[in-house]
């Protein structure tokens, strides 16, 4: 047996997946959890060493005879996290994560220093938003000037894992575009914006490489620590969304990938840059050689989990209650901004339950409205992608929410597109493994699209219910109307 190893460093855990590409099945998978440091000011942080320890703990669960079969490895990592690394390779501070909103003030400072949001979008392709890496770097400089002066490299979570594996400092276009510091059109660093943070910062940004380049080979030290073969190639890897695009088949036009996890994402592939002057769609590069316009909301399954916890309701009971609720939850609408929000840009927003009256205050309605809110947020992104010229024939659904048949049907009916689910739900880890396979097979002339067609397998689909599509129109309009009115409270 020969396998490729996919490593996925998420917010809640790190996962390792060994994919037997000859038999087209997962040979083994394991994960280990992370801690999370949070604060009332929007802080969300982790220690980088926790990822390394979690990867090792997960690998220990895999039989040694399976680990020995790996011929290549690829890494997926949560996007946007800021890992400041010193000359000795040591991490200088806790990692501020993608869902950290404590640097909203620094976003404003950077935007003003560069000449405004319109200029940012025109010249770089993206505004500087809370969550992106750029404002975290400025925050670090302001609050920890001594440590900042010792910083040698700016890394992202997956870059740091690549560095630990190979000893090489690299960054690829896809994850780099989530820093806010990349010129998306040219796929080069925006030196002027980086210099607005610090004149020497451009020298601390890693060299950029295309996906074909790879990140290096596993060192003897990393091989011993992790118990994997020494010298196997490590592909460039990428952000979790970029790897999920490979793991869901969204590497050609016409396929949209929707992830229902802690955050919600909707994205697709484009052969050219897709720039949204309204700033709703992030103008990211893909990790497959093209571009990947993306919507990201910071609150997705979290709303349903909060409601389930409030009502002490398990999944089976939730499904029973929600199945009895009509589309639109009898007029109940949830605005799920428990962690602020990135799109729309409201880092200080709070969650709300709207439309309650004497007749509709039930567990089922609130649970159903919590689930619907996640898809309403995705529909905002779908409308923006359509406005920007993107077309889609189907949505491939992943993330924890994709396991719920009610949520899958909601996704189809609210968006009006058929929803496909995959035989493997670990799309980011599998995407990283398939990219690693591509790293090896490039020598034989293999194209990534061909490997994706061969190894990303469907497990079924949900077709749209025309009656429900019509029934969801008014509730969705109600959601956007509430959103428009409440935005002024959180500016």
For residue 491, the model assigns a pLDDT of 66
Quote the mean pLDDT of the chain.
95
pTM: 0.91
| Tally of CA atoms within 13 A in the half-sphere of 462 that contains its CB | 25
Omega prior to 87 cis, within 30 of 0: no
Each residue of 89-106: pLDDT tens digit? 999 999 999 999 999 999
Tell me if 304 sits within 8 A of 319, measured CB to CB.
no
Measured between alpha carbons, how far is residue 285 from residues 76, 183, 238, 353 in Å?
15, 10, 10, 36
Please choose, from the candidates 392, 389, 298, the residue with its C-alpha nearest in 3D space to the C-alpha of residue 345: 298
Is 79 part of any known ligand binding site?
A: yes
Each residue of 469-481: pLDDT tens digit? 999 999 999 999 9
Percent pLDDT > 70 in the chain is 100
For residue 119, the model assigns a pLDDT of 92
Each residue of 339-359: pLDDT tens digit? 888 888 888 889 999 999 999
CATH of 3-240, one of 3.30.70.2740, 3.40.50.300, 3.30.420.40, 3.30.300.90: 3.30.420.40
Tell me if 179 sits within 8 A of 162, measured CB to CB.
no
Each residue of 11-29: pLDDT tens digit? 999 999 999 999 999 999 9
Q: Does the structure show a pLDDT above 90 at 490?
A: no
Q: Does the structure show a pLDDT above 80 at 464?
A: yes
Is 80 part of any known ligand binding site?
A: yes
Each residue of 386-442: pLDDT tens digit? 999 999 999 999 888 888 999 999 999 999 999 999 988 889 999 999 999 999 999
The label of the residue with tokens 């406005």 reads: 387
- Which residues are annotated as catalytic? 240
- Crossing angle (nearest 10°) for helices 315-323 and 301-311: 100
Q: What's the burial of 173, exposed, middle or buried (CB within 10 Å: 0-12/13-18/19+)?
A: buried
Q: How far apart are CA 211 and CA 208, in angstroms?
A: 10
């Amino acid at each position: 047996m020969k396998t490729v190893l996919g490593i996925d460093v998420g917010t809640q855990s790190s996962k390792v997946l060994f994919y037997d590409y000859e038999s087209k099945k997962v040979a083994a998978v394991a994960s280990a959890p992370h801690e999370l440091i949070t604060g009332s000011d929007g802080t969300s942080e982790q220690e980088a060493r926790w990822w390394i320890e979690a990867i090792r703990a997960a690998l220990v669960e895999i039989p040694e005879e399976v680990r020995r079969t790996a011929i290549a490895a690829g890494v997926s990592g949560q996007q946007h996290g800021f890992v400041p690394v010193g000359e000795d390779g040591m991490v200088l501070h806790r990692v501020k994560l993608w869902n950290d909103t404590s640097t909203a003030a620094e976003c404003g400072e950077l935007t003003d220093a560069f000449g405004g949001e319109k200029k940012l979008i025109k010249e770089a392709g993206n505004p500087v938003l809370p969550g992106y890496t750029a404002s975290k770097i400025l925050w670090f400089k302001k609050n920890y000037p001594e440590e900042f002066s010792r910083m040698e490299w700016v890394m992202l979570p997956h870059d740091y894992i690549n560095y630990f594996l190979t000893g090489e400092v690299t960054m690829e276009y896809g994850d780099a575009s989530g820093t806010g510091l990349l010129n998306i059109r040219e796929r080069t660093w925006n030196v002027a914006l980086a210099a607005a943070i610090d004149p020497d910062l451009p020298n601390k940004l890693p060299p950029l490489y295309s996906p074909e380049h790879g990140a290096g080979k596993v060192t003897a030290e990393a091989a011993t620590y992790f118990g994997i073969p020494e010298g196997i190639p490590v592909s460039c890897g990428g952000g979790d969304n970029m790897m999920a695009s490979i793991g869901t088949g969204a590497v050609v036009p016409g396929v949209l990938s929707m992830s229902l996890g802690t955050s919600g994402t909707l994205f697709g592939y484009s052969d050219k840059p897709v720039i949204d002057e309204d700033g709703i769609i992030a103008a990211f590069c893909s990790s497959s050689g093209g571009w990947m316009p993306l919507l990201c909301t910071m609150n997705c399954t979290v709303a349903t989990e909060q409601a389930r916890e409030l009502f002490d309701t398990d999944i089976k009971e939730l499904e029973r209650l929600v199945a009895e609720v009509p589309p639109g939850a009898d007029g109940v609408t949830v605005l799920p901004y428990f962690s602020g929000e990135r799109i729309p840009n409201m880092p200080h927003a709070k969650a709300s339950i709207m439309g309650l009256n004497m007749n509709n205050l039930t567990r089922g309605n609130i649970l159903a409205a919590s689930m619907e809110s996640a898809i309403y947020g995705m529909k905002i992104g779908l409308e923006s992608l359509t406005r920007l010229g993107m077309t889609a024939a189907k949505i491939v659904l992943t993330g924890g929410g994709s396991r719920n048949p009610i949520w899958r049907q909601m996704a189809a009916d609210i968006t009006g597109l058929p929803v496909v689910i995959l035989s493997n739900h670990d799309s980011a880890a599998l995407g990283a493994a398939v990219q690693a396979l591509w790293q090896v097979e490039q020598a034989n002339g293999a194209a990534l699209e061909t490997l994706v067609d061969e190894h990303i397998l469907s497990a079924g689909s949900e077709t749209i219910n025309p009656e429900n599509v019509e029934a969801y129109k008014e509730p969705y309009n109600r959601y956007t109307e509430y959103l428009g009115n409440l935005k002024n409270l959180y500016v």
